[in-house]
A and B are shown apart, each in its own frame.
Chain A
Amino acid sequence: MNTTLPRWVDIGLIPLINLALALFVAGLVVIFIGEDPIRAVQILIRGALGSDYGIGFTLYYATNFIFTGLAVAIAFHASLFNIGGEGQASIAGIGVALAALTLDQTHWLISLPAAIVMGGLFGAAWAAIPAYLQAKRGSHIVITTIMFNFIASALLVYLLVNVMKVEGSMATETRKFQEGAQIPFVHEMAGWFGLKMARTPMNISFFLALICCVFTYLLIWRSRLGYEIRAFGFSEPAAVYAGINPVKITMIAMLLSGAMAGLMAINTVMGDQQRLVLDAVQGAGFVGIAVALMGRSHPVGVLLAAILFGILYQGGAELAFEMPKISRDMIVVIQALVILFTGALENMVRIPVARAWLKLDRRSA
């Protein structure tokens, strides 16, 4: 169907309807287990946004999702579905940890840039092999990136158990980074300006994530490389016709995507844990897929969707705490419903809305 919807319907109304549907179905689930859905929503929102403490946690989670969401979005513009954000971020954690462990006698102004470079490089490296296999051999990137998630997880376990663990300790983690590699928390930064904020893991990486949103916008829509990435993503034959090398673009897009996913490790490893632990990524790589889908692969959309998922994470944790009948697993169900409706079932709403819009449009015309 040849339809052009106004942008606010496309990126505003439709995601909201999807979200409302997801919450409605989640509400039915809550009723089914015998709780009041309205109260559940109140607790969820109050838990996520009702205090500076809640907001700090919400934005801490959102930071993770911005990085992984942007990672998926960048690859998506080249028509590549990078499901491997999870693995790329965990491997990047090793890079970040190496930078931090090496430089934690210095100052965070030195160790942070080093960690950014190392995290980006390690994330990119982990994306490079699937990218090469796709570009040169045609192995489907979805399959290879998924498999690389498992390899990453196994590799991390091996390294933490056998190589990077503190000698004599039972915990599968590296030693804690010293002060020179502890990046400022946002509550500390607020303190510099004389503001008081509750202690939360939200840290300077949040601002790094915002910079990455701007970077992604400039890359995709303002740079010649982004132009080539988009052309390739829309039509490979057209790209070849224009002299754009498909192998090169596939590699570059995936390396950038992997690096972006890798930067997430700054937030969790350096910002929050201040050591490398197992499962520092905690599924954020997969949430990034939903964030990119919901955000229509646009940095602004990704930012908003990441905050939404941050609310679901933080509010969900509060909900599990306050309503004992709603377990942690229930929260996962609710999040899964949001992913289902905003990602997988997007067209279910899009097509009727588009039809209705056109009808309205014609009547008014």
Chain B
Amino acid sequence: MSDVTDTTLQGRAAAPAPVAPAIELTGISKSFGPVQANKDISLTVAKGAIHGIVGENGAGKSTLMSILYGFYHADSGDIRINGDLKHITGSQDAIDAGIGMVHQHFMLVQPFTVLENVVLGAEDGALLKPSLAKARGILQDLAHEYELEVDPDAIVGDLSVGLQQRVEILKALYRQAEILILDEPTGVLTPAEADHLFRILRNLKDQGKTIILITHKLREIMAVTDTVSVMRRGEMTATVPTAETNPSALAELMVGRRVLLRVDKTPAQPGETIMSVRDLDVRANGVAKLKSISLDLKAGEILGVAGVAGNGQSELLEVLGGTRAAQGGEVRFRGDPIDITPSANSAKRRRRGIGHVPEDRHRKGLVMPFKTWENTNFGYHNAEQFRGPMGLANQAAMMEDARGKIERFDIRPPDPYLKAANFSGGNQQKIVLAREIEANPDVLLVGQPTRGVDIGAIEFIHQQIVALRDAGKAILLVSVELEEILGLSDRVIVMFDGTISGERITSETNEQELGLLMAGVDPNSEQSA
């Protein structure tokens, strides 16, 4: 194991070990313009190990893996696979070298069957039938060996995300991958599905496969990896055996300073109900997304909405935020009904005091090619203070407003002229939060506030949300991160298949109970039955 723990230059110079490491990267550097994404990175991954790579967003994990998988070409440095120097110039080279990658966003053709997806790009000849027949056999063996059962004739679009992920893994194995890279694989899984995935990974490891797991969830690193490498600002800061470290030590290595993993907050003091939702029905393309949802949101509390992605939380947030119409039901804000028909307009809602941090800041919360000063008033740009003469915008006021928000929310770099696309995830989210919080809303709808956000910024964002609560505002928090829901919210509702499958006081529940509710099982009712 010594060659695994040591990635320094001396380690590289040492005599080759009897078994060559599965992957050996030496001196990898890669720049994008002025940004150096990878600085002289060396990494050794032992054969048959599960190797975790953690780091904040923008630390260079994805770039490094993209270099290994041939999406990018390193400016300098060597890649050795099983001891052999490889020139990987495209993903086909990587596949030929036995590397398989499971992307965060699946690369599957939705209307194709599992079998067709697996074979796609790896057909043996012009005729499809023999390839499919061969693949069917191989798939059966793989399914047996690794607990990777999927119906080969199922249409991929009909499968759950967990099963789609299995198809991705099968795709890689079908291409005889010996090294499997998984990029944030548990982001879309229930805790139970994640556990199953880890079982699969351990099976793969037992069969001698090498696995690289990229994640920002330290709990997963602790649960499943043998070795963990930490990246910070494009550099590899440490590689340690997992058994010899702990989450707070890793967090400190990632951020470069001590961080608070727990959210520091006092018990909530809920006041009157500010927003009430009754029998909300939402359909999209004929599919019921919300089925008669009712809930009350009180001043001075954070109401968490837990659930696996795709169970109606997004639709709930969109209806309340005014970007999606409901087909039935009623929403009241301070006793007055709110327009939830197709004529609903989110600008009206903002004027009434309902702020909205959307789940997808790239497509909704920000206009990526807009500069900071254009984004810090986005949605509020028709407010009195931003109006100039003759329909012009008061750009001086917008700029001043932006400078204030940049300072108060510590947005870095503090450049009002920088385009949103050029900020890190955490700073992008700070721009959105600064805008929505400083508008001083009575209700703040927050979706996935820390998705793709680095640990240092998570702490700050959580503090801001708690501060807003303490100022007597109502907050609806939608998050697929159970840890975040447990840490931040005062009350939790769990959504499953468009319904509320349970409601709990956060301090009186735990991850297991919520996990069951997320799968649509109510532990209490089961006991009584």
Interface residues of A (CB under 8 A from B): 1-4, 218, 222-225, 227-228, 230-231, 234-235, 237-238, 240-245, 358, 361-362, 365
Contact = CB atoms under 8 A, between A and B. Distances in A.
Contacts of A365: 34
B292 interface: no
Given A218-B392, A237-B323, A243-B322, 20 more contacts: A2-B33, A3-B33, A4-B33, A223-B392, A224-B381, A224-B382, A224-B387, A224-B391, A230-B367, A231-B370, A235-B363, A235-B367, A240-B323, A240-B364, A241-B365, A242-B381, A243-B346, A243-B347, A361-B34, A365-B34
Interface in B302-351: 321-323, 345-350
B379 interface: yes
Contacts of B323: 237, 240-241
Interface in B335-387: 345-350, 356, 358, 360, 363-370, 374, 378-379, 381-382, 386-387
B392 A222 contact: yes
A361 B364 contact: no
A346 to B, nearest CB: 18
A135 to B, nearest CB: 14
Contact of B369 (A2, A227, A234, A237): A234
A162 to B, nearest CB: 42
Contacts of A241: 321, 323, 346, 356, 358, 364-365, 379
B392 A238 contact: no
A237 B360 contact: yes
Nearest to A226: B393
Given A238-B364, A241-B323, A3 B32 contact: yes
Q: Interface residues of B: mostly helix, strand, loop or mixed? A: mixed
A242 B379 contact: yes
A224 B392 contact: yes
A230 B367 CA distance: 9
B392 A2 contact: no
> Which of A4, A245, A361 has the most C-beta atoms of chain B within 10 angstroms of its own C-beta?
A4
Sorted nearest first, the 10 A-B pairs with minimum C-beta distance are A243-B347, A242-B379, A241-B364, A243-B346, A2-B32, A237-B363, A224-B393, A237-B364, A234-B367, A231-B367
B378 A358 contact: no
A227 B375 CA distance: 10
Nearest to A358: B33
Given A240-B323, A243-B379, A365-B34, A235 B391 contact: no
27 contacts: A2-B32, A3-B32, A4-B422, A223-B393, A224-B382, A224-B387, A227-B374, A227-B393, A230-B367, A231-B367, A231-B370, A231-B378, A240-B323, A241-B321, A241-B346, A241-B356, A241-B358, A241-B379, A242-B346, A242-B347, A242-B378, A242-B379, A242-B381, A243-B345, A243-B346, A243-B379, A365-B34
Contacts of B33: 2-4, 358, 361
B164 to A, nearest CB: 23
A243 B392 contact: no
B512 interface: no
B126 to A, nearest CB: 32
Contacts of B31: 362
A4 B422 CA distance: 10
Nearest to A232: B367
B246 interface: no
A3 B421 CA distance: 11
Interface residues of B, number: 38
Contacts of A1: 32
Contacts of A230: 367, 370
Nearest to A245: B345
A154 B370 CA distance: 43
B19 interface: no
A223 B391 contact: yes
Nearest to B356: A241
> Which of A222, A223, A235, A362 has the most C-beta atoms of chain B within 10 angstroms of its own C-beta?
A235
Contact of A2 (B35, B358, B374, B381): B35
Nearest to A354: B33
Q: Interface residues of A: mostly helix, strand, loop or mixed? A: helix
A243 B348 contact: yes
A244 B369 CA distance: 17
B160 interface: no
B395 interface: yes
Contact of A235 (B35, B368, B422): B368
A244 B356 CA distance: 15
Contact of A243 (B350, B369, B387): B350
Contacts of A227: 374, 381, 393
Interface in B209-233: none
Contacts of A361: 33-34
B347 A238 contact: no
Contacts of A4: 33, 422
A251 to B, nearest CB: 16
Contacts of A245: 345
A240 B381 CA distance: 14
Contacts of A225: 391
Interface in B227-250: none
B367 A238 contact: yes
Nearest to B350: A243
A234 B370 contact: yes
A34 B217 CA distance: 71
A103 B65 CA distance: 72
Given A223-B393, A243-B322, A238 B35 contact: no
Contacts of B364: 235, 237-238, 240-241
A361 B363 CA distance: 31
Nearest to A240: B323
A2 B379 CA distance: 27
Contacts of B350: 243
B393 A222 contact: yes
Contacts of B395: 222
A138 to B, nearest CB: 15
> Which of B323, B356, B367, B386 has the most C-beta atoms of chain A within 10 angstroms of its own C-beta?
B367
Nearest to B366: A238
A50 B85 CA distance: 63
Contacts of B382: 224
A359 B226 CA distance: 40
Nearest to A3: B33
Contacts of B369: 234
A124 B90 CA distance: 49
Nearest to A219: B391
Interface string B32-51: 11110000000000000000
Contacts of B386: 224
A243 B344 CA distance: 9
B102 to A, nearest CB: 24
Contacts of B322: 243
> Which of A1, A224, A238, A240 has the most C-beta atoms of chain B within 10 angstroms of its own C-beta?
A238
Contacts of A244: 347
Contacts of B32: 1-3
Nearest to A225: B391
Contacts of B366: 238
Contacts of B347: 242-244
A240 B365 CA distance: 10
A231 B367 CA distance: 6
Nearest to B363: A237
A305 to B, nearest CB: 22
Contacts of B422: 2, 4
A160 B429 CA distance: 60
A223 B382 CA distance: 11
A238 B378 contact: yes
B10 to A, nearest CB: 29
Nearest to A362: B31
